[in-house]
Structure 1
């Protein structure tokens, strides 16, 4: 049976490879400089240090490694085969380290990283699309990932750290999360162009009490479903609501084909659908509010900058 090495034995056996962290970075930098110039004096001048410092460090490094890196010549030096291999590997390591330092700084400043957003819908001429486009212009190094899901699922993913920010309908008071109203939009009803109400300028909820409402399973669908019930069940029979697992544009196309009517926002109404008419709901108390929800534990600079831009845009 193979005996497991003790900690002391492992450290001793691995010393030639790891050197227990004794190699200073300056020795590696000076080795790369000598390999480039093939001359101790020229390398020292390029680094702005004394030639004796370069010579001493490399000699100590060769002793630690147990190999000869440079063959000393009457004028300059020449890399040995082992030295050439060592320098190639060190150069790769230094490049990786520089990249790590650079990207760490960029991430700390919010210039690199990722931003994960849950959006109710991305309308090309809407507030959210404009906000995201502006953020991309200011932070081109940040990778933006956009998902769409039910508001409850989005909030859970914010809590669990899978999303940075979720935009939801209304002004929710959510435990363990921060939320802030960001923008508002007028509520509209989407009707087939052949609908008897389509020739008017606006409608009231009473006009819609017998309609078939189409809503989506995802996005703001569940919240709009509850809004329809809230507005109609107090004075009229329970409305007929059908749910579909489709995107927003498909739902509007279903309205165009006569499946029913649906609620939409002002931004959606600005998209051209030849067979659909959008009318404001006259007795709706006010515009619908969209809020940002995020975790107070999320200190990501990308989120910080995005929320700052969103708050500025909302003003």
Structure 2
């Protein structure tokens, strides 16, 4: 029919079998470049007979002869040249895509953390990551939740662990663990004899929450836990840092309320007593970009989600 482009010699042959093996493409390209199965085999460190067999299998699958064999080497046929013109750019594009992904995955996983995170959970997370996936390198960045959120948006961080379960709709939020709360007491305090402090007991005292604590999350957890209580705890936001608040408690000037990051500290003159029957513990979440598909990030989140199965 007039107006139709005649089919090329190569287009007359259509593959009828399974998809082509990428190794076959590499063998064809090497054989064409070196004009010899023997020299191609030496270049690829593969026995020439293996290259010859793979190319023969490909020719059978295509129904076309790609090379003319001769005593001194091989010559590419017209069908072989057309096949190379199409296959080589595709293979180069695939290699470039692979190199890009490998380069991205080789970069350290950038993790935002804060002083409010329990060292127990953070150590367990990083230790499991190293044990299960030793090729993944991580780099930690300390900072506040708002700064980490901005860094996630600008892609300066891959993931950030922050207190709470609130984030922008454009940010992926993954709950990872929850932490208990404790009352900070000076040694010799009447509550030292208690194994834990319940809500009625807590409500009889005025307590400070230091600026290094997840303050809003602590207040919400205590308020929700005491919503049916007759008396509500007296909580005060403090501008004191962790060490300054512990010093004031040790001197008997105030009492405090804290998360697990503070209870990990051994401080003279101070004891910690957990809050009993806390129905709404402080939740920590991992923030990341929804389109960040790095394998290292997926492995990190998989491990993080397994750290407290009993509380889910």
Give the TM-score normalised by the residue count of structure 2: 0.55
Aligned residues: 221
Residues 1-315 of structure 1: matches in 2 within 5 Å? 104=100, 106-108=102-104, 110-124=105-119, 126-137=120-131, 138-139=133-134, 142-149=137-144, 151-172=145-166, 174-218=168-212, 220-228=214-222, 235-236=230-231, 239-244=234-239, 246=241, 248-266=242-260, 268-269=262-263, 271-315=265-309
Distance 1:116 1:180, change over 3 A: closer
SS in 2 for 1:252: helix
Superposition deviation, residue 267 in structure 1: 6.3
Superposition deviation, residue 227 in structure 1: 4.0
Deviation by residue 1:130-154 (Cα, 9 ceiling, x = unmatched): 20233245345624122131x4443
SS in 1 for 2:174: strand
- Structure 2: runs of 5 or more not aligned: 1-29, 31-39, 45-95
Distance 1:267 1:298, change over 3 A: same
For residues 45 and 180 of structure 1, what CA distance do their matches in structure 2 show?
50
Contact 2:161 2:287 (C-alpha < 8 Å) held by counterparts: yes
Distance 1:305 1:237, change over 3 A: closer
For residues 109 and 140 of structure 2, what CA distance do their matches in structure 1 show?
7
Deviation by residue 1:168-204 (Cα, 9 ceiling, x = unmatched): 3343364122222222333222211132222222222
Give the TM-score normalised by the residue count of structure 1: 0.55
For residues 120 and 183 of structure 1, what CA distance do their matches in structure 2 show?
16
Contact 2:178 2:282 (C-alpha < 8 Å) held by counterparts: yes
For residues 122 and 292 of structure 1, what CA distance do their matches in structure 2 show?
12
Superposition deviation, residue 226 in structure 1: 4.4
Contact 1:118 1:166 (C-alpha < 8 Å) held by counterparts: yes
Higher normalized helix content (fraction of residues): 1
For residues 207 and 224 of structure 1, what CA distance do their matches in structure 2 show?
17
